[in-house]
Amino acid sequence: MAKIFIKDLKEYFGKEIELQAFVDNIRDLQWVQFVILRDGTGKVQMTIEKSEEKNKNLVELISKLPLESTVLIKGIVMDSPKVKLNGMEIIPTHIEVTSTSMQELPINIKKKDNALRETRLDYRFLDLRREDNHLLFQAQTIFEHAAREFFINHNFMEIHSPKISAKAAESGAEVFKLDYFGQEACLSQSPQFYKQMAMASGFDQVFEIGPAFRAENSHTSYHATEINMLDVEVSWVKDENEVMDVEENLLKYMFKRLKETYGKEIEETFHVTLSNIDVKFPRITFQEAKRILKEEMNFVGERTDDFERHEEELLCKYAKEKYNSDFIFVTKFPFEARPFYHMLDENGLTKSYDLLFKGVEITTGAIREHRVDILTKQIIEKEIDPKSLQFYLEFFKYGCPPHGGFAIGIARMMMEIFEIDNIREATFIYRGPTRLNP
């Protein structure tokens, strides 16, 4: 018999089925037992009449069964419009307990706020049983699947770059170092170098969804030491606007699929309406953004080469009020705030951008410098020894197309979509400076 899930039970009215589920709740009344069963797709009521002699063993079993135990049920699916939960019920003929839970759970999985976040993270396997968490990760699945659909429809190639590397893609101070058979290696901060290698290989357009590791001793609500990134690189682009076009079209497709699939459930569960993607994402330069912050938002940050978090929040507020957009691109960042591989324009500014979404930076993108002589010069300007990046420079010595790309942090994106206050809640298993378990 094929596995049956609760979401599909309406196809089996009047039929005997076999169902496996958690015991979500039990109401043991004088004449009847109502048992709420739950799997990853929904809930259904099982009804046991105590007056029927054939149910004596079932009644006794349920009366002693702790919540969150798992059961295998054989029974008839009944169309019962009076039942508030889905208008159906199961009348069991057989119940097998497949695992028994302890009587007391270490956290309350019905009410999120009844336990401290850190305690819930200690028992993440229980915390994830909540319906809102199931919806969050179902939505993330659709979100990533939609990205793959977009890429395949636009002739992108998927790559899987190594996560153990000899060199850091960004600052060497923020890598997890490890011993690799006597050689010094590190966990990859980014597939950046390998995406660019793919461009030198003539792959034209590539994407990757995979982990990245940042050894930042940061305890903010939107940082983690292990993250999943959606990385993209495309050849034959002239400026950052073409890269932004790719990202904007990608995100609009992903949001459209998410809204079609789970928009109603997200609104009902999280009280969040998915962002309007019908408007074009506004694009402003870094210099213009600083002017807006100073003259229109009455705020001047301490940094002149980048944004503080509050500035990002204000710029998103500006985009929402002026353009009705939750997104805003900011372009032309100073070279001081950017990696050595970002291409410079005629004014010495980088052909780069940040994409801000609901007050948080979710993307850094750029045109990459592919001319080996200029790239070497920029490496030296960043006070890096070119010899330490010799393997990387080899990519550009034998012909390499102009190219650019970007990366999106998936958990940070989901955090902002669902308006969750902490990335820990939007990550399946969170890793941070003080958390290595479970």
Task: Specify if 438 maps to a domain.
Answer: no
Stated pTM of the model? 0.94
| pLDDT > 70? residue 150 | yes
pLDDT of 173 strictly over 70: no
Query: Are residues 418 and 371 both part of a single domain?
Result: yes
Q: Give the gyration radius of the chain's Cα atoms.
A: 27
Q: Are residues 80 and 197 in the same domain?
A: no
Q: Are residues 223 and 335 in the same domain?
A: yes
Q: Which amino acid is at 232?
A: V
* Domain assignment of residue 108, yes or no: no
How many Cβ atoms sit within 10 Å of the Cβ of residue 79? Answer: 11
Q: What is the rounded distance in angstroms from the CA atom of residue 366 to the CA atom of residue 350? A: 8
Are residues 212 and 94 both part of a single domain? no
Boundary (domain end) residue, out of 99, 116, 143: 99
Decide if pLDDT at 369 tops 60: yes
Percent of the chain with pLDDT over 90: 96
Same domain, 197 and 51: no
**309 and 394 together in one domain:** yes
Same domain, 46 and 145: no
With a CB cutoff of 8 Å and minimum separation 6, the contacts of 135 are 262, 265, 266, 269, 270
214 and 67 within one domain: no
Question: Which pLDDT does position 312 carry in this prediction?
Answer: 97
Residue 435 lies in a domain: no
pLDDT (tens digit, 9 = 90+) per residue, 295-322? 999 999 999 999 999 999 999 999 999 9
CATH number for the domain spanning 42: value is 2.40.50.140
Residue 2 binned pLDDT confidence (cut-offs 50, 70, 90): confident
Same-domain status, 61 and 147: no
Residue environment code for 25-55, b if the CB has 16+ CB neighbours within 10 A, otherwise e = eeeeeeeebbbbbbbeebbbbbbbebeeeeb
How do residues 249-298 score in pLDDT, each as one tens digit?
A: 999 999 999 999 999 999 999 999 999 999 999 999 999 999 999 999 99
CATH value at residue 318: 3.30.930.10
Residues 227, 82, single domain; the answer is: no
The yes-or-no verdict on residue 112 having pLDDT over 80 is yes
pLDDT at 183 (0 to 100):
93
Which domain, by its residues, includes 345?
A: 126-426
Does some domain include residue 1? no
- pLDDT of residue 1 exceeding 80, the answer is no
Domains: count for the chain? 2
User: What is the reported pLDDT for 167?
Assistant: 73
